[in-house]
Amino acid sequence: MTKVQLGVCDAVARHFGVSRATIRAVAEKYFKEIGMDHPVLELDLTQQININISVMCSKNTMPLSSMFFHSKLKKTELYGDIINAFGNACADVLAYYSGGALVVIYEENYYTGVGGILVRGGGEAYVCEPIAHYLESHYPKANYNDC
């Protein structure tokens, strides 16, 4: 698995209070089933916490200064991964490292959370935020009694 995929597994484990080994085992099982390394990580956690998360993981990065402006975002190598993640791969989010932080991008027209950035332009709108904030807003711990 790539560094980003391992980071996603670890963030999910931290968020739900599940062991890292358990989440990584689910990821490794997925890659073994499809028979190859793949940028999309499907975490089928229906047996553990009754959720399924699909994350496209990119080795590309983007500096914080490019996250604020759609015109700068489009000039990054990460933009191609964004288009692929939501157009072809049907992932929930795209994960990547920016500096030392694991960040996710997802399609959304508005943002009311904390710690993220809404980027609009050219008929597109994306939210960039730390993965911990994404997990808390989309998968609140209070909804998962097993955690």
Is the model's pLDDT at 21 over the cut of 50? yes
Q: For residues 135 and 141, what is the distance between their CA atoms, to the nearest angstrom?
A: 9
pLDDT computed for residue 96 by the predictor: 95
Q: What is the predicted pLDDT for the residue at 145?
A: 53
User: How large is the average pLDDT for residues 117-145?
Assistant: 89
pTM for this entry: 0.89
